[in-house]
Amino acid sequence: MKKIIKYTLASLIAVSLVNCTSDFEDINTNPNGISNESLTQMNNHIGGSFTPMFLNVVNATPAWNYQLQQGLLGDVYSGYMTPPTPFAGNVNNMTYALVDGWNGFPWSDAYGSVMPFVLDIKNAVELGGDPSGDKFVHLANIIRVAAMHRVSDIYGPIRYTKFDDFATTGEYDAQDVAYQAFFDDLGAAIDGLKDFEGDIQFAPFDLSNLGGDIAMWRKYANSLRLRLAMRIVNVNPTLSKTQGELSLRSNAGLMTTSDVVISTGFIHPISVISGSWGDIRMSAEMESILTGYGDGRIEKYFNPSADPALNGNYKGIRMGIDITAKSEYVEHASVGEVIETETVTWMTSAEIHFLLSEAALRGWSDTGGDAKDHYEMGVKASFAQHGVGGADAYLADATSTPNNFVDALNAANNINYQSDVKIAYNAGGTNEEQLEQIITQKWIAMFPDGQEAWSEYRRTGYPRIFPVVVNNSGGTIDTDIQIRRINFVSSEVNTNGENVSTAVGYLGGPDNGGTRLWWDVAGSNF
Partner 1 sequence: MKQITKLLFVFLALAASFQMNAQEMTITGTVTSASDEAALPGVSVVLQGTQQGTQTDFDGNYTIEANKGDVLLFSFVGMASQAITIGDSSQINVVLLDDSESLDEVIVTALGMKKEKKALTYSAQEVKGDELTRVKQTSAINSLSGKSAGITITKSSSGVGGASKVVLRGNSSTTNNDPLYVVDGVPMLNSGNGQNGDSGRGIFGGTEGNRDGGDAISMINPDDIESMTVLKGASAAALYGSQGANGVILITTKKGRDGKIAVNFNTSFTVDNVTSLPELQTQYQSNSVGQPITENGRVTDPKSWGEKASGLSNTVDDFFNTGYTSINAISISAGNQKAQTYFSYANTYAEGVMPENRMVRNNINLRETANLFNDKLQLSASINLSDQRIWNRPINGLYSNPLTGLYLNPVGIDLNDYKDFEYFNTSTNMMDQYATSFDENIQQNPYWLTYRNPSKDTAERVLANVTLKYNITDEFSLTSRLSYDKSFFTFDKRLYGGTDPNLAPATGRYILEKTENTQQYVDFIANYNKQISDDFGLSLILGTSLTKYKIGDQLFLDSGIGTGLTYPNEFTIANFSDTKTIYQSVSNREVQSVFGAANFSFKNMLFLDVTGRTDWSSTLVNTDSESFFYPSIGITGVLSEMFDMGDGISFAKVRASYAEVGKDIPTYATIPLNSIPAGQNNFQKPQFGVIEGESLEPERQKSFEIGTEWRFFHNRLGFDLTYYDTKTTNQIFLIQAEPNVQGYVQNIVNAGEITNKGIELTLFGKPVETDNFVWNSAINYASNDNKVVSVHPSLQDGTAIINPLGVNGYGYALIEGEDFGSIRGRSVVRNDNGVAVVTDDGSGGFTLESTDVETIAHAQPDYTLGWNNTFEFGNFVINFLIDGKFGGDVVSVTEAVNDFYGVSKASANARNKNGGMIDVVDTNGNAQQMTAQNYFLQTGGRAGLLGEYTYSATNVSLRELSVGYNLMFQNGFVENMRFSLIANNLFFLYKDAPFDPNIASSTGIGLQGVDIYGQPTTRSIGFNININF
Q: CA-CA distance, 253 to 247, in Å (whole number)? A: 8
Kind of pairing, strands 260-263 and 343-347? antiparallel
Q: Which of 430, 260, 423 is nearest to 352 (CA)?
A: 260
Sign of the torsion formed by the C-alpha atoms of 127, 132, 138 and 144: negative
| For partner 1, the closer CB: 67 or 437 | 67
| For partner 1, the closer CB: 308 or 428 | 308
| 21 contacts partner 1 (rule: CB under 8 A) | yes
Gap between the terminal Cα atoms of the chain: 104
Report phi then psi at 426, rounded to 5.
Answer: -110, 90
Interface of this chain with partner 1, residues 137 to 166, rule: CB under 8 A: 159, 163-166
Which amino acid, 207?
L
Instruction: Find the part of the chain contacting partner 1 (CB under 8 A) among 60-68, 142-150, 174-182, 379-387.
Output: 60-68
| 462 contacts partner 1 (rule: CB under 8 A) | no
Least CB distance from residue 508 to partner 1, whole Å? 23
| 99 contacts partner 1 (rule: CB under 8 A) | yes
| 306 contacts partner 1 (rule: CB under 8 A) | no
Interface of this chain with partner 1, residues 251 to 280, rule: CB under 8 A: 265-267, 272, 275-278
| 324 contacts partner 1 (rule: CB under 8 A) | yes
Instruction: Find the part of the chain contacting partner 1 (CB under 8 A) among 27-35, 215-223, 241-249, 457-465.
Output: 27-35
| 20 contacts partner 1 (rule: CB under 8 A) | yes
By rule CB under 8 A, what count of residues binds partner 1?
Answer: 90
Q: Which of 437, 471, 515, 525 binds partner 1 (CB under 8 A)?
A: 471
| 340 contacts partner 1 (rule: CB under 8 A) | no
Instruction: Find the part of the chain contacting partner 1 (CB under 8 A) among 33-41, 137-145, 366-374, 417-425.
Output: 33-41
| 198 contacts partner 1 (rule: CB under 8 A) | no
CB 141 within 8 A of CB 188: yes
Task: Note every long-range contact of 98-104, with CB atoms under 8 Å and residues 24 or more positions apart, other chains counting.
Answer: 98/473, 98/486, 98/487, 98/512, 98/513, 99/72, 100/487, 100/489, 100/490, 102/68, 102/72, 103/68, 103/73, 103/486, 103/487, 103/489, 104/68, 104/489, 104/490, 104/491
Q: Which helix (H) or strand (E) holds 360?
A: helix 349-361
Q: Which of 36, 242, 418, 524 binds partner 1 (CB under 8 A)?
A: 36
**Cis omega before residue 463 (within 30°)?**
yes
| 180 contacts partner 1 (rule: CB under 8 A) | no
Q: How would you class 302 by CB atoms within 10 Å of its CB: exposed for 0-12, middle for 13-18, buried for 19 or more?
A: buried
Least CB distance from residue 145 to partner 1, whole Å? 18
| 195 contacts partner 1 (rule: CB under 8 A) | no
Q: Which of 78, 152, 175, 496 binds partner 1 (CB under 8 A)?
A: 496
